[in-house]
Structure 1
Amino acid sequence: MRARIVPAVAAAALLLPAGCSRGAEVVALEVGDCLDQSELKGAEVTQVETKQCTEPHDAEVFAAVRHAGDDDYPGRAAIEEFAEKECAVRFEEFVGVPYAESEIYFSTLSPTEEGWVQADDRTSLCILLSETPVSESLRGAAR
């Protein structure tokens, strides 16, 4: 198991008006989108500023995991536990080495109860976190 635990972030899936040209609502983020970890600060994140992966960045979406069921919100702890487990499984496929052997960490961005109920958000995002900025995708980085 990795020694460093990176806290999960809650994603409030609110429908907001379009922001700047490279801004994105968290529900619109896709695998391969690059951004800075500073965009993930706060108890809830609704929008982030994405970057071209050729620009310096220290975070990248590497997977999206769907939570099963249309039932009531299962609680933050259950959401985070499921997301962390599924992201760890998908890590090696994207990065090229098992998570336990990698120098790259990850965090999750998961739906809030409000997003679950009001926007039917059932997706957690898996986000790579680099300790130093990179100017390329971390796909296949094998480190």
Structure 2
Amino acid sequence: MITSTRSSRLTRARRATLVLAPFALVLAGCSGSSVLELEVGDCLRSPDLEAEEVSTVETLECSEPHDAEVYAELTFDGDEYPGTSTVQADSEEFCLAEFEPYVGIAYEESEIYMTTMYPTEESWDQADDRTALCILLPQEDVTESLEGAAY
């Protein structure tokens, strides 16, 4: 299972209040790319990330219309799952710190939202998933990478 934290415009000033939306990882084979294979710079469609169960997503060329982009990844160490609250907090802190270096403007000043996807105990144990992903969510479709967008 991969869990996501999606920030909203209202939480820019109060980062402690974030809305959780669950993502389940189903290990059955499907078409598309495994969510475990996503990398920094991959462009996506956000509806692919909103289902209750997510096993695959379609990556797009960033020149194609898209409304989601992976901008950073954090790899956790260890064999023992550190717990949801630790994984969530570490992922959020990391993604917020990586936002400005990638986008070129502080998160609180940006028009772009962000979300985190991080491993659950199930994906940690069953899929050796140790990676949290930071994902940009512009308010409308874009046809280029958001790296250095500065808005």
**Superposed pair shares fold, TM > 0.5:** yes
Please, which runs of 5 or more residues in structure 2 have no aligned partner? 1-10
Cα deviation 1:8-52 (Å, max 9, x = unaligned): 5546273x4362xxx210110010100111011133422111111
SS at match of 1:106: strand
Query: What is the match of residue 126 of structure 2?
Result: 118
Aligned-residue RMSD, C-alpha: 2.0
Inter-partner Cα distance in structure 2 for 1:57 and 1:50 = 9
> How far 1:99 sits from its partner (Å)?
1.1
Instruction: State the distance in 2 between where 1:134 and 1:11 align.
Output: 27
Is 2:20 the counterpart of 1:12?
no
Aligned identity (percent) is 52
Which ranges in structure 1 are unaligned for 5 or more consecutive residues? none
Say whether the 8 Å CA contact 1:24–1:48 is kept in structure 2: yes
* C-alpha deviation, 1:74, in angstroms: 2.5
Using structure 2 for the length normalisation, give the TM-score.
Answer: 0.82
* Equivalent residue in structure 2 for 1:31, among 13, 26, 40: 40
Q: Distance in 2 between matches of 1:118 and 1:142?
A: 39
Where in structure 2 are the equivalents of 1:26-105 lying within 5 Å? 26-71=35-80, 73-105=81-113
Provide runs of 4+ in structure 1 moved above 6 Å: none
Spell out, residue by residue over 1:73-92, the C-alpha distance to the aligned partner (whole angstroms, 9 max, x if none). 22322211110110011111
State whether structure 2 residue 15 is matched by structure 1 residue 2: no
- Structure number with higher relative contact order (C-alpha < 8 Å, ≥ 6 residues apart): 1
Residues 69, 136 of structure 2: 8 Å contact kept: yes
Q: Assess if the C-alpha contact under 8 Å between 2:66 and 2:143 holds in 1.
A: yes
Deviations along 1:55-99, one digit per CA (max 9) or x if unpaired, are 11100000011123221x223222111101100111111101111
- CA distance 1:103–1:130, change in 2 (3 Å): same
User: Structure 1-normalised TM-score?
Assistant: 0.86
- The structure richer in strand per residue is 1
